[in-house]
């Protein structure tokens, strides 16, 4: 298994992004995530986008980007996780956990102080993963991001210890 940084518009990233959008549509019955994302948002030192490969085949993805828009509930030092996804055939092998750890380490090295993410009630696996990795659910009044007003939305955070 190899985890490598790629651009958000890399062909394999685009392929997995299409799959995650299909997953969102299936679970939530809509057109997927409408959060505006651009490749430049994931360029170091303001973010990173990772793909996990095995035998040349992309199996998992995830990224983080700087997100400090106070109007949307973010704070200085926030790094937002986006597009965490593992293809169905590779689930249960710890790939998401490995990508998440790599994202946290990279954000910490970039000086970020808190990881933030938004997921939803129809993604119980994601909720369980993040909780098991030390993320805590925020109160309704503290929610952030584009979907903060949606009842199905769940926002989670994790403080990042300074890099050693």
106 in a structural domain? yes
Residue 127 DSSP class: H
In terms of DSSP bridges, do strands 114-120 and 2-5 run parallel, antiparallel, or are they unpaired?
unpaired
DSSP-H helix ranges across the chain: 11-28, 95-109, 124-132
Q: Which domain holds residue 132?
A: 2-159
In terms of DSSP bridges, do strands 153-159 and 57-66 run parallel, antiparallel, or are they unpaired?
unpaired
Summarize the confidence of residues 27-53 as an average pLDDT.
92
This prediction has a pTM of 0.95
Provide the token pair at 63. 């990224």
Is 9 exposed, middle or buried (CB count within 10 Å of its CB: 0-12, 13-18, 19+)? middle
pLDDT > 90: what percent of the chain?
87
164 in a structural domain? no
Q: Is the per-residue pLDDT at 30 higher than 90?
A: no
Q: Let me know: does 114 contact 159? Beta carbons within 8 Å.
A: yes
| Domains: count for the chain | 1
CATH number assigned to the domain comprising residue 88 = 3.40.630.30
Summarize pLDDT for 130-162 with one digit per residue, the tens. Answer: 999 999 999 998 999 989 989 899 999 999 987
30 in a structural domain? yes
**pLDDT confidence bin for 79, thresholds 50/70/90:** very high
């Amino acid at each position: 298994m190899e985890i490598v940084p790629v651009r958000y518009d890399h062909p394999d990233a685009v392929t997995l992004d299409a799959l995650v959008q299909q997953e969102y549509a299936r679970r939530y019955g809509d057109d997927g995530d409408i959060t505006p994302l651009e490749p430049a948002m994931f360029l170091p030192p303001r973010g990173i986008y990772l793909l996990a490969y095995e035998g040349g085949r992309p199996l998992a993805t995830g990224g983080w980007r700087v997100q400090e828009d106070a109007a949307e509930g973010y704070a200085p030092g926030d790094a937002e996780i986006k597009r965490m996804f593992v293809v169905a055939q590779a689930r249960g092998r710890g790939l998401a956990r490995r990508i998440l750890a790599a994202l946290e380490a990279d954000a910490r090295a970039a000086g970020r102080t808190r990881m933030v993410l938004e997921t939803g009630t129809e993604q119980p696996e994601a909720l369980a993963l993040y909780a098991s990795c030390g993320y805590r659910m925020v109160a309704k009044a503290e929610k952030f991001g584009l979907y903060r007003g949606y009842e199905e939305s769940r926002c989670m955070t994790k403080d990042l210890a300074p890099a050693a």
